[in-house]
């Protein structure tokens, strides 16, 4: 089993460009697994964790409801936003500047073959990261992602999640609001859940801006700790000490 994870910080990139890149990495791992099965080889499959920040974009998961998108094409253009129907689980969400998006592309055969456990681990990575800022976050039963003040009238979501998996290989991932413009969430029913608010780390801390580099370092630290993985640094990587 290969527990090394190659970290790539892609910076500010178009959603479709990164979606295509995810697919390329995802298919590469699947092909290697099939080759091992077909030819009886034991070639190690790689793992990746991509960090990225996207221009304004709305994405609808394969089980999502188009009625949760509250803008038409003309209004989308007016907001400077794009829209994609994609192949992850979950409903509709927003990505944009000030948000840290993480795409773990892992062969879970290298770790554990349990998608439910995988999602809970991703949530725990974010919960532990937020705890370092004195923000108490939690899971909300039946609602994937990370929330604040769960079970109260003030419940609000700070991190959305949606993944795709095939033959235990994952793609897509999480989106943590760090310095996000929350006004863009008013144009959708976030994750198909009505009547609950969305928040951002800078809002919770009462700061104009939180260091995204620092948050990524903390995410990375907790990711490697929980998955018992090893970082494989590449150009542009942020390596947490």
Residue 234's pLDDT is: 60
- Binding-site residue ranges for substrate: 88-95, 160-162, 173-175
pLDDT in tens, the chain (241 residues): 899 999 999 999 999 999 999 999 999 999 999 999 999 999 999 999 999 999 999 998 887 778 888 888 888 888 889 998 888 877 888 999 999 999 999 999 999 999 999 999 999 999 999 999 999 999 998 888 999 999 999 999 999 999 999 999 999 999 999 999 999 998 877 655 555 789 999 999 999 999 999 999 999 999 999 999 999 866 445 444 3
Exposure of 26 by Cβ count < 10 A (0-12 exposed, 13-18 middle, 19+ buried)?
Answer: buried
pTM score, two decimals? 0.92
191 catalytic residue (yes or no): yes
Query: In sequence order, what are the beta bridge partners of 216?
Result: none
Query: In sequence order, what are the beta bridge partners of 162?
Result: 173
* 4-233 CATH, one of 3.40.50.2300, 3.30.110.40, 3.30.930.10, 3.40.50.300: 3.30.930.10
**Strands 230-233 vs 169-177: parallel, antiparallel or unpaired:** unpaired
Structural contact between residues 56 and 184, judged by C-beta atoms closer than 8 angstroms: yes
Catalytic residue among 52, 101, 146, 191: 191
- Binding-site residue ranges: 88-95, 160-162, 173-175
């Amino acid at each position: 089993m290969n527990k090394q994870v190659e970290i790539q910080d892609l910076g500010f990139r178009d959603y479709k460009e990164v979606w295509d890149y995810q697919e390329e990495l995802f298919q590469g791992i699947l092909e290697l697994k099939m080759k091992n099965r077909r030819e009886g080889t034991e070639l190690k499959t790689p793992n990746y964790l991509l960090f990225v920040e996207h221009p304004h974009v709305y994405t609808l998961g394969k089980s999502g409801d188009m009625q949760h998108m509250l803008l038409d094409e003309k209004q989308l253009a007016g907001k400077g936003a794009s829209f994609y129907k994609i192949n992850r689980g979950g409903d509709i969400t927003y990505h944009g500047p000030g948000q840290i998006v993480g795409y773990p592309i892992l062969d879970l055969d290298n770790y554990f073959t349990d998608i439910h456990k995988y999602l809970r681990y991703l949530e725990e990575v974010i919960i532990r990261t937020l705890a370092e800022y004195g923000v108490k976050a939690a899971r909300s039963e039946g609602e994937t992602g990370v929330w604040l003040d769960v079970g109260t009238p003030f419940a609000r979501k700070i991190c959305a999640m949606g993944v795709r998996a095939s033959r235990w290989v994952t793609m897509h991932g999480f989106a943590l609001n760090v310095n996000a413009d929350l006004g863009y969430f008013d144009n959708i029913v976030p994750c198909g859940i009505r009547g609950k608010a969305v928040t951002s780390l800078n809002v919770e801390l009462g700061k104009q801006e939180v260091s995204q580099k620092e948050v990524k370092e903390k995410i990375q630290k907790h990711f490697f700790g929980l998955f018992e993985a090893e970082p494989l640094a590449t150009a542009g990587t942020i390596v947490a000490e």
